[in-house]
């Protein structure tokens, strides 16, 4: 079945590169108008221009997820230009504990500063932005919220010695993604009697600056899970955690 997203408007935070840009590209290729939110306005312009050169309807806004004024500016943009927001992809995030993902456990020494900076970007700011934009998502016929998480946020997998991620114990990053997953289940429950669906996505271990040099997935595949969840039909799942079509344990 061909998915047609004509008339849909999507915001992808951290959309100027990596998984975010690829997600925007794939949504745009389905017909959606994609808006790239990026901390650096110029980098966002370059990304949007690249997508437009590919025939995609793309715009960009300055959106540092840590800045409340950027949150409000984003709300004003969508309210005034479109009167709604169909899709929110909470893609922006940081991992500042190590350069490349690898077996590690420095739980006893990770600094409070790293914990706070990671949670501010990956959790608190994501919640604040989603709460602010939710009235616009409610105005869409079938809103979709996709929280880009990670298998590293699964406590079930972290307690399983057979899991591939078992030895990657990045406390700040992993805990922030576990907290994001909790937000997913709770917001999905609150909105269960509405057309809005809220899910967490594990894009995979993707070859990006965040994924690092050991990653085993290409960007094209890295964007697929978010796109699947952003285009769910009315009878699709909500409050779940997926990689591609596979449901993951919390």
Report the alpha-carbon distance of residue 69 to residue 150 in Å, rounded: 28
Measure the CA dihedral 191/230/208/241, to 10°: 50
Long-range interactions of 103-108: CB distance < 8 A, separation 24+: 103/167, 103/168, 104/167, 104/168, 104/169, 104/170, 105/167, 105/169, 106/169, 106/171, 107/169, 107/171
- Nearest one of 142, 108, 109, 147 to 32, comparing CA atoms: 142
- Strand-pair category, 241-243 with 246-247: antiparallel
Provide CB contacts within 8 A for 2, sequence distance 6+.
Answer: none
173 carries an active-site annotation: yes
- Please name the residues in contact with 220: beta carbons below 8 A apart, sequence gap of 6 or more: 22
Catalytic residue among 75, 82, 166, 173: 173
In DSSP terms, 9 is beta-bridged to: 33
Catalytic residue numbers read 173
């Amino acid at each position: 079945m061909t998915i047609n997203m004509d008339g849909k408007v999507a915001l992808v935070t951290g959309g100027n590169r990596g998984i975010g840009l690829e997600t925007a590209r794939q949504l745009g290729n389905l017909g959606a108008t994609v808006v790239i939110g990026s901390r650096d306005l110029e980098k966002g312009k370059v990304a949007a221009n690249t997508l437009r050169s590919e025939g995609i309807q793309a715009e960009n806004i300055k959106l540092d997820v840590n800045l409340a004024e950027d949150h409000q500016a984003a709300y004003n943009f969508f309210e005034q230009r479109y009167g709604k927001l169909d899709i929110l992809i909470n893609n922006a995030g940081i991992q500042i504990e190590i350069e490349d993902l690898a077996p590690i456990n420095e739980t006893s020494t990770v600094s409070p500063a790293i914990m706070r900076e990671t949670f501010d970007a990956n959790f608190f700011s994501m919640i604040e932005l989603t709460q602010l934009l939710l009235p616009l998502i409610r105005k869409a016929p079938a809103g979709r919220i996709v929280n880009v998480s990670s298998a590293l946020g699964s406590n079930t997998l972290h307690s399983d010695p057979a899991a591939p991620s078992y030895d990657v114990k990045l406390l700040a990053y992993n805990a922030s993604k576990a907290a994001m997953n909790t937000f997913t289940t709770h917001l999905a429950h609150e909105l269960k009697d509405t057309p809005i669906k809220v899910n967490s996505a594990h894009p995979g271990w993707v070859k990006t600056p965040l994924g690092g040099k050991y990653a085993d997935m290409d960007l094209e595949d890295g964007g697929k899970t978010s796109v699947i969840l952003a285009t769910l039909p009315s009878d699709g799942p909500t409050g779940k955690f997926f990689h591609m079509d596979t449901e993951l344990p919390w």
